[in-house]
Every structure is written in C-alpha cells, then in structure tokens.
Chains A and B, each alone.
Chain A
Amino acid sequence: MDSFDIVVIGGGPAGMAAAVAARQMGIEKILLIERDRELGGILQQCIHNGFGLHHFKEDLTGPEFSERYIKMMGELGILSRLDTMVLSITRNREVVLINSAEGVNTVKAGAVILAMGCRERTRGAINIPGSRPAGIFTAGAAQRLINIEGYMVGERIMMLGTGDIGLIMARRLTLEGSKVIAVLARKPYPGGLMRNVVQCLYDYGIPLLLQHTVVEILGKDRVRGVRVARTDENSLPIPGTEELYECDTLILSVGLIPENELSLSAGVEMDRRTGGPIVNESRETSVPGIFACGNVVHVHDLVDFVVEESEIAGKGAARFVQLPVEKKVTSVALLPGTGLKYVVPQRVNPAKVAERLDLFLRVNRVYGPSCIEVKEGGEVLKKVKRPRMNPGEMERVRIDRNAMETIKGSDLTVEVVEVEG
C-alpha cells in the first residue's frame, strides 16, 4: 500500500490551497486527488471576474484564480492524480481510489484533508410540483453546459432562487442572447451577494421578484411554463396569487449542500446547521487526523475565504503529521445563539490558537445596525458592530489571542444583538 503524509481529497481551490499550505510547512509526501480531468474544480466554469479581490488584491476570473494555484502546485512539485475518484475513507485514514490508469487502489495517509466542495439543491429536494419535462437545470449544471461544453440550455428562462451562481448565470444567459424573464426569491431578500444582484440583475434590467416562488411546472416533454405565486411571511405560497409565465427553461439556484458522503464513510461527526463536519480551530474534524476545508465544511460566498480556511486546514494537517503525539487539550464548543444560522469552527482549543481565531458565520435573516457578540457565560469576549447583515453574506469575527487567553473553559456563544439605529 502506498503511503503519503497528507492525502487531499478534491482539487478545487480548497484542496489546492490546503496542499500548498502543507507543503510550505515542509510536508514532503502530499497526494491530491481530483475526479475531474483537470484541477480547479468549479472555478473552471466560473469564467466571470470578481475572484481574488481579497486574497490576491486583483480582480481575476475563476480559471485565472485557479491557474495561480495550479502553478504553485507545479512549482512546489505537489503530486496530483486527476480523473480519479475516491470511493471511501476509513477512520484510520486509508483512502480507496479508482481511476483508469491504476484501477482500484488503497493509499494510507498520515493526515487526510477533505475538500470535496458542495453540490446543488435540486428540484426534488425542494419539491416543486407539476410535470417532469426537460428544461429544468440547476444553475451550476447550466453553467457547465454553457461555459465548458459550449451549448445553450434555453431561450426563455425563468430562474428560481438567488444563489450567487444563479445570479451570475442570469447575466451569462442574457449575454448569450437568452431572455431571462425574471429571477424569483422566496424570501424578502436575495440569497446571494448584493454585488451580484447589482452587477448581474440590475445592470441588465432583469426583474428580481422578491417573495415569489414557482408552485407548478408545466409542459409534457419540454418546460412550457411555470406558475408563480407570491409568498407570505413564512415563505409559503399564497393561494390565489398564481400567475402563469411562459418559458422553455427553469433554472434553479436554491442552495448548495456540502458534499459529505466520504466524510460520513470515515465516521466524521456532522453539524446539522452547516451540513458539514464539526471542525476545530485548525479545521480538524471529530476523527483525529482528518481535516476539512472549503465548501465541504460550510458554503462560502467568496473563494478568497475558502483558501484562507484551507490554509488553516493545510497547516493543521501538517502539524498533525509533524507532531502526531500531542498532549490532549480540552476544547470548548462555539454555539450559534440568537440570530445565527451557524458558526465555524464549532470547537476551539483556546491554548492552540496561535495569533488569532477567525470565526465564520451567517445570520439567519436581514439585520440593520447590530453587534455580533462572542460570550462565555455573561462575559463578552468580543463584540463587533455591523451596519447591516444578511444571510447571503458570510461574516467574519476575529478574536485576538489575548481575548482567547481569558477563556475559562465554558462553551462560547455567538449571537446577534440589534442596536438602535
């Protein structure tokens, strides 16, 4: 059985950034496994710009961003296997993989980094009733067909959901000559980044219908229309408000789901709120030596944050390999309190935080002027003010080492406190 210090699963930005960080920590034997024929992951089909503004201080396209990492991988001599699928991972870090060149093969890893990304929520998962014709695509599948394969998916498009890929695709389809009739959001606010709403919808005159949803799909062989209804304060359709829109295509951008089947095969403990593994400050999961980063942990909105998190995981895995026997440090939980959808990491060993701890979190609705507070019991550890927050934008809260040192050992709660405007 071949053995490696670190095996990284997934060759998107998360996997590559983690591998690069681990190599920079001096890890020699790294293997990165990617199921596609090239590295880059979903970035390869994201031909729009806006990537790297934070990380590289440049405005790059998806392929340009991934090219930077592909180059680093090459320069650092990190081994990757492409067109290779991981079938399972065991608790003791044996990774079973398959490809055409070598067949089925098991490799042993000193540490594993999970970086499989996420998949799109489908029509079935959100249960849109009606017929089941051709012409219903998830935004990412449409993006792949258009940007990679070079084929169009429809002429008159209705889009349900305001995830970032959907917003980007509304613009892309318009540029390719399709008519995007409207983009529907079930909630009173869009799910994606405001900058995408402005640059992809407003700038192209595409109507954004907030509090609307599709209640029925029509058409026997190909979509011929959708029935759209307004939604109430619970985001449920209001009977009697249905309107028929004729279209040949319905594109869904209704959420992303971390893809954790492999994590489960390794027995990793999951967070119901994020859909990803429970991780600590170095992105180690509940299974020692198995780390996770990027969209497999929680769905990020910017690749810049993905690589930042992945560097943490890469370094964490490197330390695990270099100093495998470490004194057990007690960790405390980070609990999402009032106003939070989730917070990552879910656990932290205060003593192991080197300089600072970055918390990534999402709020559960739109907030005006508010504070995010990190508390231990009644004591506020950290408090940051935000003029406005919405669930579509990930928030980051940075806690310095000094503040971490004051932790006495109880669980920490993170919550939103609204302040008078």
Chain B
Amino acid sequence: MFDVAVVGAGVIGTLIARELSRYRLEVALLDRSNDVANGSTKANSGIIHAGYDADPGTNKAKFNVLGNPLFDELCDQLDIQFNRIGSLVVAFNEGERATVEQLYGRGISNGVAGLRIIEREELQALEPNLDDAAVCALHAPQAGIVDPWEIAVAAAEIAAENGVEVFLNFPVEDIDRSAGPFRIISQGGEVEARCVINCAGVFADRIHGMVAAPSFEITARKGQYFVLDKSAGDLINHVIFQCPTREGKGVLVTRSVHGNLLVGPDAQVIDDKENLSTNRDRLDYVRRSAGKISKKIPFNEVIRSFSGLRATPSTKDFVIEESRQARGFVDVAGIESPGLTAAPAIARHVRDLISGIMGGLEEKKDFNPLRRKVIRFMDLPDERKNELIRKDPRYGRVVCRCEHITEGEIVDAIHRKVGARTVDGIKKRVRPGMGRCQGGFCGPQVLRILARELGKNPTEIVKNECDSYILTGSTKYGGIEEQVHGQF
C-alpha cells in the first residue's frame, strides 16, 4: 500500500514525485509508457516563460510567475542545462504594437519584473537576423530554455534515489475505490494508494472519469516542429515569438540548450490522442509562418521534424484540485503552456494539497536533493578527461560522432536509477542520435551497448515503446557474437 500514487511520469508527475520524496511517504510513480517523459514532455518548445501571457488571476499566470524563478536552483540540483537567454515578442507592423503593449501591461499585472519594450534599433542590435519589418518587441530577460525531458528524467531519478517506486509500462485501465483506498488497475498488476495524483497529460480526463463524474475535458492540440542542425543555432540569440493571436502563441524560433535551432509549433486540434504524425501541409505552414520572423532560417539544415500534443483543458485554465467526489484524488490536468515553467511551483502546491489531505507531512532526514553529477565528458578540461579515461577507458571511446558522446556516458545513463532501457532512452538522456546523422552511425553501436549492459540479445532492444522492435532476427550466417562466443 502506497500513500500516494502519481499517475503520469511527465515533467509534472516526476517533479511532484520528487517533491513528495522529501517526506516520509510511500510514493509510486506510474506511467503507461516504456520510459518517463514520453508524452507531451518529450515534444514541446522547452521554454521557461516569463509570465506575461496568461490573464491575471488564473492558475496559469500564478504558477508561471511562481515557477520561473525556481529554475536556477532546480536545474542545478537536477544537474541539467538551463539558460536564461531571454525572450522577445516581436511586432512586425505598427498594428501589432498594441499587442506588445498589452502583453507588457499584463506582465506588470502578473508581477513579472524586468519587462521592457524595445524599439527597432535596439532590437536589430540584439537580433540582427530578424526580419526587417520588425518595429518593436517586448523583452523579458528572465525567459529561458531547457530540454524538458531532461527535467523529467532527472526528477524521476532523484525521486527514485529517495525511495519512490517507479512502475513503467503501467497503463491505468481502471481505478477502484470500493474497498477504501484507491486500487489502480493495469494489465500487468495493481497498485494500492491512499491518494492519487492525476498527471496523465492528454489522458487526464479519462483517468479522472475512473473515479468521478467528468468535470473537465482535455483536448489534444498538436504542434509540429523542425529541428535544425547546430550550425544554424546561432541565427538568433533569444526566444523569438510573434504576437499571439486567438490560436495561441504562434510559431516561434529559438535555440535549444544544446545549440540546435527549433522552429514551431502550429496548433491543430486532433481526435486521436495517440497520433503523433507530422503532415506536409502543417510543416509547410510552420515554415511559412517562421519566415515572418526571419527570412534567413536555413531550412536545408533541418535534421528532424516532430510533433507533440498540448493537453488543452475545457476550463481554459490549469485544473489543480482535489476532486470533491473522490477525496484523496487530486487532478493536475490541462497543463498546457506555460505548464513546463509552472511545473516546479505546481509540484510544491500539490505537496501542500497532499499535506492537507494526509494531515501534515514529515520531512525525511536523509532526503538528498542532488542528482549524482552527470559527466558531460567533452565539457571537461583535458586534465579531467584524461584522469577519467585512465579510471574508465570507456570515456575514451567516442560513440556519437555528431554530439561527441562517449561510451562511458552511455553506460552511465543505463545504470542510473530509472535508467535508459531503449535507444530513444539513451538519446533522451545523453543525446546520441540527436545530431545530424540521426543515429545512422551510432545507432548500431548504441544497440550493442544496451544489449551488453542489460544482458540481452540485440534483437530484444527496442527503439522506444515495447513493440518498437529494431531487429527482426539474425542473418543466415548469424551475428558475430554468436559465431565467436556461441551466444551474445
């Protein structure tokens, strides 16, 4: 029996699990997928917003403004990269100036500090590649960028290090509370808990419906993106937004923390919440729309396109509350933008809700907020590199030639808590496959390392989900290992 079961291991669920792992609680973290961070967390813009977008008084505004300043310490503890590069909402004609001014006013009402409207000349100095039509912009210095899946991976690891039990491949089929505590039922087994926190992203309404009458609906709004080669990463220096319209914030252009250029997203409501395909016409739209920001985006350097789903709530605001019909069941639903920014503040708030429900929480004395340092080999000074190679020669073998990732880093990502089990899991954690060859060279090697470290046959290694097999068997002559050793 757990005290709390967190359903959904995206950035919200993992940060809540980490927050709860500070206390003397038995916590379970459940996810339908084969890895953490496989839903919306994996595919969004990765922006830590300043807080001028949402209407004053909303949960979105409140948690955005509370969340933003938490990122420096959070990312430090999670040992992931975070960069406050600042954002610009650009007016590309005098008609849009009013929107920029309105956002400025909203930012002030929301309590966002440091906002400034900058004029054409200063704007051009900050962003020389911006389209000439730009007239002014709202500058928010505290906006930043992260790779959101890195947050979830690191938060899940810290949670697990502090005692949270992680159940992957655990799609919740039903929740039964006829016998007192919540019985969370999946094909593979059951988990019992006194409290349930519903962080199921686009499926949060379905999970909610298992214990209570519908009180909100979640619509999936798809957004499609291009990722460009690192050689294009220097095109711009800030997160560049167009003026928002009814449809949302529109197509943006930003650098990623690892130096790629990210262009997107569009917005399209879809029925099938499993559908993550990209479409030519939508991507063409993204390309055209981004052209308004800069004509110099080198689309011939696209290395990947992808899509993600926003969990858009019918209530228009984040739903963060204990269900009245099912006491102990807390919804954290409809966490679309600025959900990533809001996440650490939401986690603290949910902790307070749980504390209220449980009649107070007792802190653990041995809680460790710090993730064991991740070795980013190529960032080390040569002396440290050589010291490390002497200790573990696997750091001297570069597996991913695009991102310069060593075998040592890959092996470490496998053996951490909530470690990588799949090729995409490795990619998410240490980046081989993210580069310009898209895994063409390192893919076979990563597969081999995974198989070796996990004691499996290479044919058992999957790309991402359980059915995403990569190899279909041996050749007629068989694998090298089979010939040499009789078995892999």
Contacts and interface: CB of A to CB of B under 8 A. Distances in A.
Given A35-B401, A83-B397, A124-B304, A129 B474 contact: no
Interface string B441-474: 1011000100000000011001111111111111
A129 B278 contact: yes
Interface in A67-125: 83, 85, 87, 98-104, 119-120, 122-125
A176 B475 contact: yes
A355 interface: no
A141 B444 contact: yes
B276, B302, B382, B438 — most chain A CB neighbours (10 Å): B438
Contact of B474 (A83, A152, A248): A152
B401 A122 contact: no
A133 interface: yes
Contact of A153 (B227, B396, B462, B470): B470
Given A99-B396, A132-B276, A221 B438 contact: no
Interface stretch (B101-109, B188-196, B384-392): B384-392
A98 B277 contact: no
Contacts of B467: 220-222
B277 A119 contact: no
A100 B397 contact: yes
A252 B448 CA distance: 22
A100 B394 contact: yes
B471 A152 contact: yes
Interface string A211-232: 0000111101110000000000
Contact of B438 (A123, A130, A152, A220): A123
A279 B60 CA distance: 57
B401 A150 contact: no
B477 A122 contact: no
B480 interface: yes
A153 B471 contact: yes
Nearest to A175: B476
Contacts of A85: 398, 401, 404
Contacts of A152: 471-475
A124, A133, A176 — most chain B CB neighbours (10 Å): A124
A122 B468 contact: no
A122 B437 contact: yes
A145 B303 CA distance: 22
Interface residues of A, number: 50
Given A87-B404, A124-B303, A129-B278, A119 B441 contact: yes
A326 interface: no
Contacts of B121: none
Given A101-B393, A104-B382, A220-B274, A127 B398 contact: no
A35 B440 CA distance: 15
B83 interface: no
B277 A129 contact: yes
A315 B169 CA distance: 60
B169 to A, nearest CB: 13
A144 interface: yes
Contacts of B468: 133-134, 221-222
Closest 6 CB pairs of A and B: A100-B396, A150-B479, A100-B393, A124-B304, A103-B386, A134-B463
A177 interface: yes
B305 interface: yes
A410 interface: no
A138 B440 CA distance: 7
B389 A103 contact: yes
A150 B478 contact: yes
Given A98-B385, A100-B389, A151 B398 contact: no
A221 B277 contact: no
B279 interface: yes
Contact of B479 (A135, A149, A154): A149
B464 A134 contact: yes
Interface of A: 35, 83, 85, 87, 98-104, 119-120, 122-125, 127, 129-135, 138, 140-141, 144-146, 148-155, 176-177, 215-218, 220-222, 248, 261
Contacts of A133: 463, 468
Contacts of B480: 148-150
A23 to B, nearest CB: 27
Interface in B391-415: 393-398, 401-402, 404
Given A130-B277, A134-B462, A149-B448, A140 B482 contact: no
Contacts of A221: 462-469
Interface string B266-305: 0000000011111110010000000000000000001111
A177 B475 CA distance: 9
Given A151-B475, A151-B479, A220-B467, 13 more contacts: A85-B398, A98-B398, A101-B393, A104-B386, A122-B438, A123-B304, A125-B303, A125-B438, A129-B283, A132-B276, A151-B471, A151-B473, A153-B470
B459 A151 contact: yes
Interface of A is mostly: mixed
Contacts of B479: 149-151
A87 B396 CA distance: 12
Interface in B286-334: 302-306
A153 B472 contact: yes
B423 to A, nearest CB: 8
Nearest to B377: A98
Given A138-B440, A144-B444, A154 B389 contact: no
Contacts of B206: none
B235 to A, nearest CB: 17
Contacts of A148: 444, 480
17 contacts: A35-B401, A85-B404, A98-B385, A103-B382, A103-B390, A103-B396, A104-B389, A124-B302, A125-B303, A130-B277, A141-B439, A141-B443, A148-B444, A154-B472, A155-B472, A217-B277, A261-B402
Contacts of A140: 440
Contacts of A130: 277-278
A87 B395 CA distance: 14
A180 B205 CA distance: 44
B221 interface: no
Contact of A176 (B275, B382, B476): B476
B436 interface: yes
A101, A154, A221 — most chain B CB neighbours (10 Å): A221
Nearest to A135: B470
Contacts of B389: 98, 100, 103-104
B394 to A, nearest CB: 7
A407 B396 CA distance: 51
A129 B443 contact: no
A122 B437 CA distance: 7
B472 A104 contact: no
A150 B477 CA distance: 7
Nearest to B443: A141
B227, B390, B437 — most chain A CB neighbours (10 Å): B437
B475 A150 contact: yes
A134 B423 CA distance: 10
B277 A216 contact: yes
A176 B390 CA distance: 43
Nearest to A130: B277
Given A125-B302, A127-B302, A134-B470, A119 B385 contact: no
Contacts of B478: 150
Contacts of B278: 129-130
Nearest to A120: B440
